Chains A and B, each alone.
Chain A
Amino acid sequence: QKEVEQNSGPLSVPEGAIASLNCTYSDRVSQSFFWYRQYSGKSPELIMSIYSNGDKEDGRFTAQLNKASQYVSLLIRDSQPSDSATYLCAVGSGGNMLTFGGGTRLMVKP
């Protein structure tokens, strides 16, 4: 059984701070890693994908992957109230299937 674990939160950070969201996965042969953002009542939207160990930056977002530790994280710099949402970690092990974590709810307080 492939598992993807996330702390459900809520994670509360002040506006302007760095939000750090974490995800661990059980399948060692996982190849693809994704972060999605889901606002309340809306569907998930893709923020970032990462496939290799290390950091990948896109604007205020940085994804970090450590395959040896089976750990992927998302950093959000200069957090804004509009970043308040549930962040879903998804892991692919080849093929078309993704395994989703339960999501971490982020609250950015003005």
Chain B
Amino acid sequence: GAVVSQHPSRVICKSGTSVKIECRSLDFQATTMFWYRQFPKKSLMLMATSNEGSKATYEQGVEKDKFLINHASLTLSTLTVTSAHPEDSSFYICSASRLREGRADTQYFGPGTRLTVL
């Protein structure tokens, strides 16, 4: 159990275009979904936290108008990178959290999306 999928796994786009990444919890209802980015050989960096039906909470320094997050249901969250630039090239990873034994903080990660902006 606790499977999280992400689509696409890899995307190459031109500078100035927008890219949408989907994150789905396949076998459980996620209380909360998280979006991270990771540069090569660097730590995970939390970008934002989203709860179903409410606005995402962005970490300091993350532009909410550039990284649009929609959490339409308990099993789906999307991240749209708007007007992408080469510096947005990174590995984007989502995770989903579910209630278990009264604790809501176990996070299960999707396989990640590697974005390359030319």
Closest beta carbon of chain A to B8's beta carbon, Å: 14
The prevalent SS among residues of A at the interface is loop
Closest beta carbon of chain B to A100's beta carbon, Å: 5
Closest beta carbon of chain B to A10's beta carbon, Å: 12
Q: Is the CB of B31 within 8 A of A43?
A: no
Q: Is the CB of B43 within 8 A of A100?
A: yes
Q: Is the CB of A43 within 8 A of B111?
A: yes
The prevalent SS among residues of B at the interface is strand
Q: Which of A42, A96, A97, A100 lies at the interface centre, i.e. has the most chain B CB atoms within 10 A of its CB?
A: A96
List residues 55-109 of chain B with CB under 8 A from any CB of chain A: 91, 93, 97, 103-109
Q: Is the CB of A44 within 8 A of B106?
A: no
Q: Is the CB of A90 within 8 A of B112?
A: no
A95 to B49, CA, bound (A): 12
Q: Closest A-chain residue to B32, C-beta based?
A: A96
List residues 38-60 of chain B with CB under 8 A from any CB of chain A: 43-44, 49
Q: Is the CB of A46 within 8 A of B108?
A: yes
Residues of A within 8 A of B (CB): 31-32, 34, 36, 41-46, 49, 51, 88, 90, 92, 94-98, 100-103
Shortest beta-carbon contacts, A-B, top 8: A92-B105, A96-B32, A43-B112, A43-B109, A102-B43, A43-B93, A96-B97, A44-B109
